[in-house]
Amino acid sequence: MGTQIKNGHRNFQIYIFLIIALFSASFQMAGQEKMYSGDPDVSFAKARDLAFNNSRKQAQDTLLHILTKYPNYHDVREFLASTYAWDGDYKKARTEFQKVLAKDQHRQTTWVAAIKNEIWGDFPFLALKLSRKALKKFPNDTEILELQKRAQESTMIPTATAGAVQTISSDIPNDSISKESESELRKKVLNNTIGVTSEVNIYSDVFDPMFYNAVKYARQTKYGSIIGRVNIDRRLDEYGTQYEVDLYPKIAKGTYAYLNFGVSGSSIFPDYRYGVEIFKSLPRSFEISAGLRGLQYDTTTMIYTGSVTWYNGNNYWSFRPYFTPGDNGLSSSGTLTYRKYRSDADNYFGINIGAGISPELNQNYFFENDDRIVNLQSQKLNVAYYFSTHNKQNAWGAQLGIIHQEIPFDQGNYFWITTLALSWEIRFR
């Protein structure tokens, strides 16, 4: 009896061993069948024909098959990465370009294609970083220099489209991709944005917390971006609503405008507000602007402003003063903003410091005579962090700030204001 059990157990082990061996052999045979066997040059030529004749998925399968046996066939991998870029799969393309450049950094065509991939994907800061690396290998290459210029110009978008829509580059070179690829890239442009913002200001003395909320819809057009916004605030135990429209029309290359108009029937907002400003790009990645704002309560308050901005790689510096003339003299304030961008304009860390009060930015100060121009002492510090999902469809932001503010009706004494703001945007075609 015991011998039979032992023999049965031994037979069962042999049976299991045979099953495992058969499965292993099957997998090895399957792997051998998947291994490429043929002329890689001939297959590569066929793959290129397929890619340019509406069969890009089949072309990618062929290219991947070639790479199973010839992983260092860089022309094949570079072309595979380019097809991913045409499909809008910029992360996949980036991975393949990196594999090529990790083994051979002296391939000018790979550097160019990799930089274009970041530009098409609306990752201008990554494109700028790549172009600088490429120029170390090809110092005077005109094509790479032109791409670097395009990338640098793209990093100068945030001022014009602050809070607006981020899209892929509208300037897609026709000589680098097929018409089908160009069409597919344009279909991936996210021209519409819906966003919400909520902010609370907590006072150390005098006032109860005040709440600022906004809902917006933005659309990017070939003429510039359009933003409609509804502001719904609660201040001093009173609710109010304001309706605004912002326009950023393109005037000429390197020149655009900011136009604003708002209306409200609430006492906590001006009856009307309007603004106009002209922005002009300068050499060495500088930008300047000049404009004005108008706030109409019982009387109209005019505010004169402008900005000086410098884009230094992934770094953004901007100084904006405000000058408000009034019966008591000229009220002035200023704000310095610094941002450290990562991949694009949606992903950055920022610091904002300022002194003084501007009626445009500080509408929560009320006086019985409706005079909103007072030379109050004020200092502020604000930090911000913004980030987006990989597909750029969702973007989030958070700001935390502290303000040391002179009390409007008790000048010489101060309170502290702590601010917290959160935002979310969703983008779609």
The 3-state secondary structure of 40-69, one letter per residue: HHHHHHHHHHHHCCCCHHHHHHHHHHHHHH
Angle at CA 104, nearest 5°, toward 102 and 109?
Answer: 110
Q: What is the pLDDT of residues 299-328, one digit of tens each?
A: 888 999 999 999 887 889 999 999 988 777
**Under 8 Å between Cβ of 131 and 155:** no
Q: Environment class of residue 356 by beta-carbon count within 10 Å: exposed (0-12), middle (13-18) or buried (19+)?
A: buried
Q: What average pLDDT does range 52-75 have in this prediction?
A: 89
Give the CB-side neighbour count of residue 214, counting CA atoms within 13 A.
22
Distance separating alpha carbons of residues 131 and 221, to the nearest angstrom: 28
Q: What DSSP assignment string belongs to 29-40?
A: HHHHHHS--S-H
Q: What is the pLDDT of residues 393-429, one digit of tens each?
A: 899 999 999 999 888 777 788 889 999 999 999 988 8
**Which pLDDT belongs to residue 123?**
86
Judge whether residue 267 has pLDDT over 60: yes
Q: pLDDT for 174-207, tens place per residue? A: 444 444 444 454 555 678 899 999 999 999 988 8
Taking residues 72-77, report their average pLDDT.
92
Q: Are 399 and 383 in contact (CB under 8 A)?
A: yes
pLDDT score recorded for residue 152: 79
pLDDT value at residue 189: 61
**140 in Cβ contact with 148 (< 8 Å):** no
Residue 347 contacts residue 158 (beta carbons within 8 Å): no
- Portions of the chain given CATH number 2.40.160.40: 190-428
Residue range(s) occupied by CATH 1.25.40.10 in the chain: 40-185
The hierarchical CATH code for the domain 190-428 is: 2.40.160.40
Q: What's the confidence (pLDDT) of residue 18?
A: 58
How would you classify the pairing of strands 255-264 and 272-282?
A: antiparallel
Count Cα neighbours of 89 within 13 Å in the Cβ-side half-sphere: 14
Main-chain phi, psi angles of 179, to 5 degrees = -60, -35
pLDDT, tens digit (0-9, with 9 covering 90-100), for 358-403:
666 655 444 434 454 456 788 999 999 999 987 778 999 999 999 9
User: What is d(CA 375, CA 371) in angstroms, rounded to the nearest whole number?
Assistant: 11
Average pLDDT over residues 231-239: 88
DSSP-derived letter for residue 23 is: H
Give the pLDDT band (50/70/90) at residue 283: confident
Q: How many other C-beta atoms are found inside a 10 Å radius of the C-beta of residue 240?
A: 17
- Burial class of residue 269 in the structure, from the number of CB atoms within 10 Å of its CB (0-12 exposed, 13-18 middle, 19+ buried): buried
User: What tokens does 276 get?
Assistant: 């106009």
pLDDT given for residue 32 in this prediction: 40
Cα 390-395-400 angle, rounded to 5 deg: 130
**pLDDT of res. 34:** 64
Supply 34's token pair.
């998947």
Mean pLDDT score of the chain: 81
Spatial distance between the Cα atoms of 331 and 228, rounded to a whole number of angstroms:
30
- Looking at the predicted structure, is the pLDDT value of residue 249 above 80? yes
- What is the biggest distance separating any 2 CA atoms in the chain, rounded to whole angstroms? 114
The CATH code of the domain at 40-185 is: 1.25.40.10
Confidence band for 349, pLDDT divided at 50, 70 and 90 = very high
The residue-averaged pLDDT of 53-58 equals: 86
In this prediction the pTM is 0.71
Task: Look up tokens 């770094």; give the residue.
Answer: 315
Structure tokens at 267: 């006492």
* pLDDT given at position 27: 45
Three-class SS state of 328: coil
Placement of tokens 């950055």 in the chain: 348
Q: Which residues pair with 278 in a beta bridge?
A: 257, 290
pLDDT at residue 381 in the model? 95
pLDDT, tens digit, 9 for 90 and up, residues 98-137: 999 999 999 999 999 999 999 888 888 889 889 989 999 9
